[in-house]
Amino acid sequence: MDNREAIGSWLSGPRAATEGAGAADLGYRGEQLGLPEQGPGSVAPTGRRFGALFIDWALASLIAFGLLADRQVHATGNWALLVFVVMSLFTVGTVGSTPGKLLLRLRVVSVDGLGSLSVWRTAVRTVLLGLALPALIWDRDGRGLHDRFSGAVQVRV
C-alpha cells in the first residue's frame, strides 16, 4: 500500500477503510435499527444535525443575551448553555424536535417503537447533550452516545 492509498483510507474514515479492505460490509446508516436508507424515517444527515445545533445554539444565545442585557453579567455563554438545555428538554420532550430540528425537518424518536421519547429518556439525552462530549462520540449509525444511552435516533421527517 503506498502513502496516497493509506492517506486516502484515513481521510475517508474507518468505515471506508474497513469496507475497502474487504473486512466487512457495514451497510447503510440505520440499517441495524430497521430504518430506511433514504427519505422520511432515515437517519438524519450529519450536516442537517449540525445546522440544527447551530440554529438552536444561536437562539439560546439570543435568549440569554436578551434576558441579561440590562444586567452586568459577563458569563452569557453559561446562561446560553442553560437556556439551550432547558429549550432542548422541553421541545424534544413535547414535540420531538428543537426549533432548529423543526426548521431542518428532523425529529428525535425512540429506537424501540420509533415514537416519542419518554420524559426520562429525554432528560438523560438532554443532560448528556449539555455535557457535549457524549455527543461528539458516534457509533456507525451516526448516533452520539447521548442518543445511544437514551435509546434515541434522529431521523428525517
Say which amino acid occupies 9: S
Same domain, 20 and 66: no
Handedness of CA 15, 153, 30, 32 (dihedral sign): positive
How many degrees, rounded to 5, is the angle at CA 53 between CA 84 and CA 105?
Answer: 115
Same domain, 20 and 91: no
Structural domains in the chain (count): 2
pTM: 0.77
Q: For residue range 77-96, what is the model confidence (pLDDT) as tens digits?
A: 688 899 999 999 999 999 99
What is the structure's pLDDT at 53? 94
Same domain, 63 and 81: yes
| Domain residue limits at 11 | 1-29
Under the banding of pLDDT at 50, 70 and 90, the label for residue 153 is very high
* SS3 call for 59: helix
- Residue 61 corresponds to which cell in the numbers above? 444565545
pLDDT at 125 exceeding the cut of 70: yes
Same domain, 21 and 74: no
Q: For residue range 20-54, what is the model confidence (pLDDT) as tens digits?
A: 555 566 788 888 888 898 999 899 999 999 999 99
Same domain, 12 and 52: no
pLDDT at 6 exceeding the cut of 70: no
